[in-house]
Amino acid sequence: MLSKNIEEALNNQIRIEAESSQIYLAMACWAEVKGLEGIANFMYAQSDEERDHMLKLVKFVNERGGHAQISALKAPDVTFESFKEMFELLFKHEVFVSNSINELVHITLQERDYATHNFLQWYVSEQIEEEAMARTILDKINLIGDDKGGLYLFDRDIENLTVSSAAANGLSNDA
């Protein structure tokens, strides 16, 4: 059974994950109308993934005796100065989501809700991957600079980008 405090915190995270999906969807639309098909497809896939993260939380809250709340969402930015600015905003947003997840984990430890704590470990690992991916993308964008040919190749290749973090591969400092 979820405490009211944890239920409220999880419902807040549900809203954040839903807003994340909307942010990626807005970015996909912007990229698509700019002719950046690879970036658009990447963002559409990310939007779907964030929605899945939200649904996973919804089901968890309901299964644990709470009531998942679907709330109004803040409208995302729909235009960007450049694709670089868009990815910088994406990175900042992922850091915000990571901080939110970490705060949620902290609350579960304070309340000794180890079932929810355990459930949230998947989100902790996922955020390590999300931040690593955003950082890798920004590194590639900085390498490209103003080279249009580089942008063309980046747009073509981003759909296949996969970033494996040390956490996802089970690597640790114990090796």
Going by the DSSP 8-state scheme, the letter that residue 85 receives in this structure is H
Annotation: binding site for Fe cation: 17, 50, 53, 94, 127
The two structure tokens encoding residue 63? 């299964």
pLDDT for the residue numbered 150: 86
Q: What is the tens place of the pLDDT at every residue in 126-157? A: 999 999 999 999 999 999 988 888 888 898 88
pTM of the model: 0.89
CATH pick for 4-160 out of 1.10.10.10, 1.20.1260.10, 1.10.287.70, 3.60.120.10: 1.20.1260.10
pLDDT for the residue numbered 162: 56
Q: What is the tens place of the pLDDT at every residue in 52-72? A: 999 999 999 999 999 999 999
Annotation: binding site: 17, 50, 53, 94, 127
